[in-house]
Structure 1
Amino acid sequence: MRRRIPSNSMLIAFEAAARHGSFKEAASELLLTESAVSRQIARLETFLETKLFERKGNRVRLLPVGTKYAQEVGDSLARLERDSQRLMGQSPGTVDLEIGVLPTFATRWLIPRLGMFQNTFPHIRVNLAQRLDPFNLPASGFDAAIHFHDPAWAGLVIHPLLHEVLIPVCNPSLLSGTRTPPPLDDLPRVHRRQNAEAWQIYAQETAQHLQNPLAGVRFDLHGMAIEAAMAGLGVALVPRTYVERDLAEGRLVTCWPPGQSVSKTFCAITTEPLDECQPALRSFVLWLLDQAAATEDQP
């Protein structure tokens, strides 16, 4: 039976136009004319028998049905590109794993340890892609995810790795000339935008006085907050797991008590139990569990 799928040229033009919100910018990215992009999208709308864009003169606006379709098409194209690149670069006997992972967890915890995994399993190549939010793992093309525990993973297999315990850290220069530990209320503070109440909860747990717990600069990622702390912009409340090396090497210091509650739990997520996973993925997840246990055992 012949598949009823739009042509690649239609989908690529649509995805670019939806991402940019402009036929002109999509044409520039794809090295096409604006009219060529417009024709491809018109053909796609005819094929689907559905309008994806609202056109007003030279301006276009993605309709709600187009917004949802754009997300699905973008995910499918990214998966196809990822699978193609994996085959093009694959060496004989090498097994590739595609892992969707939280970006700061990848850069601060996982990547510094990956060399050990590769030394033990030289035939397994681990490819990482950042995912800030939970996603549909079975339909994503990823072999596994490393993310926070979340109800969105219902029906999948959860392998708890590490607990997120927050600690205040800052550049040592921020404490020069102050008594130890200085009151947090006397220092500028750094916030992670997605966890706006973290300082308020921390102050209640540790009996720290903060006149305005929400005062301070805000960043989207823990990685940004850590860099801000190292740059001397203030005290950041971040997972200890992310800053162990910086504390050990003196780039950051902490002289306040750690948070008392576990904010979130980092997990590996697979679609099947470990004994049913492919051998390469099973080896990787078991290695993750061992590394996480060693991290939790550190003082």
Structure 2
Amino acid sequence: MTRRKIPSFTALQIFEACARSESFTRAADEMALTQSAVCRQVANLEEFLGFALFARVKKRVVLTEAGREYAARISIHLEKIERDTLELMGNHGGGALELAVIPTFATQWLIPRLAGFKREHPEIQVNLSSNTGAFLFADSRFHAAIHSGKAPWPGAQGDWLLEEDAAVPLCSPALLRECLGKTQGIVVEDMMRLPLLHLQSRAEDWRHWFELHGSPHDVEAMAGAKHELFSMLIEAASAGLGAALAPKYMAHRQLALGSLLQIMPHSLPGQTGYWLAYPPERASHPAFSAFRAWLLTQAKMHQAAMQTPPAAAQN
């Protein structure tokens, strides 16, 4: 078997400390070594690499361009090794999952269900981080991601979770009374008397909604404040800043509290869906395999509940 072309781990730690402080003396103090030992390790590393990492300027050391680039890369890997080690120690070897998620989907759909997963698998820790864009798993700390789209994530394996629910018009009762003088019996044309809020990535949703329900408003329906996330959009609507179009489950808390009302049943069909994306080699990992099986079951239960007629659901 070919031996890996990797320098001494001790040398890498010392180099990273020197690069961070740009001082062999401070690095020696940090690593509890003599300055001569630090200099020797850096020299050995430079010999191994075949290029200089530092330029000696009088009594100071300054990173070369190559040294600066190498330090940035090594720092990422050392931080990841430390984080993985501490997480494994803190979780007593049970396993931790780093999951990139869409913020609103995570807060409104995933997190309320995670207590059930924790009861089934108390030994597995699920860490969630907001990330809305595609990335390469090899260049990140994430084991998997939940993303929205119409196809699996390029370069990764993907499981279809569920369709996005239809978006419904939502508004605070105070704004309805202020603008319309009523909170019930609202018709499509009444909506143009309300300020409209938009999701930045779907700025034409209201225009499509009016067109779908027989009342085209090309210009007027495009006016209004725009927000980056559904969570921001829903909070803005709840604060009385305007009416929003959003999947109903994303506003279930505000609807239950009465800070938002679903103005009418007229909806805009969901435009995308949610996927669980992960590198192929992650599929056989025990902790991820357990989470994946649980998540797919939760998604099936959600879809079944959405397809159940209201009358049947009450029986």
Q: Same fold (TM over 0.5)?
A: yes
- Unmatched 5+ stretches in structure 1: 15-38, 53-68
> For residue 280 of structure 2, what is the amino acid of its counterpart?
E
Matched, 1:240 2:248: yes
Cα deviation, residue 136, structure 1:
0.9
Query: Paired residue for 1:256, among 230, 244, 264?
Result: 264
**Residues 154-169 of structure 1 aligned to structure 2 (within 5 Å):** 154-164=154-164, 165-169=166-170
Distance in 1 (CA, whole Å) between partners of 2:86 and 2:269 is 42
2:117 match: 117
Matched, 1:47 2:67: yes
Distance in 2 (CA, whole Å) between partners of 1:206 and 1:290 is 35
Cα deviation, residue 78, structure 1:
6.5
* 2:222 alignment partner, SS class: coil
Q: Are 1:157 and 1:270, in contact at CA under 8 Å, matched by a contact in 2?
A: yes
Distance in 2 (CA, whole Å) between partners of 1:173 and 1:269 is 41
1:140 match: 140
* 1:298 alignment partner, SS class: helix
- Unmatched 5+ stretches in structure 2: 23-59, 307-315
Amino-acid identity (%): 33
Q: Deviations over 1:87-123 (max 9, x none)?
A: 352225x221111111111111111111111011111
> For residue 195 of structure 1, what is the amino acid of its counterpart?
R
Distance in 1 (CA, whole Å) between partners of 2:7 and 2:150 is 36
RMSD over aligned Cα atoms: 3.2
With over 3 angstroms needed to count, the CA separation of the structure-2 counterparts of 1:256 and 1:122, relative to structure 1, is: same
Mean Cα deviation higher: 170-179 or 192-201: 170-179
* 1:185 alignment partner, SS class: helix
Q: Are 1:194 and 1:220, in contact at CA under 8 Å, matched by a contact in 2?
A: yes
Alignment: residue pair count: 253
With over 3 angstroms needed to count, the CA separation of the structure-2 counterparts of 1:295 and 1:2, relative to structure 1, is: closer
1:61 match: none
Distance in 1 (CA, whole Å) between partners of 2:202 and 2:157 is 26
With over 3 angstroms needed to count, the CA separation of the structure-2 counterparts of 1:208 and 1:283, relative to structure 1, is: farther
Mean Cα deviation higher: 189-198 or 227-236: 189-198
* 1:87 alignment partner, SS class: helix
1:192 match: 199
With over 3 angstroms needed to count, the CA separation of the structure-2 counterparts of 1:78 and 1:106, relative to structure 1, is: farther
Distance in 2 (CA, whole Å) between partners of 1:201 and 1:79 is 45
1:230 match: 238
Matched, 1:175 2:180: no
Q: Are 1:134 and 1:150, in contact at CA under 8 Å, matched by a contact in 2?
A: no
2:103 match: 103
* 2:220 alignment partner, SS class: coil
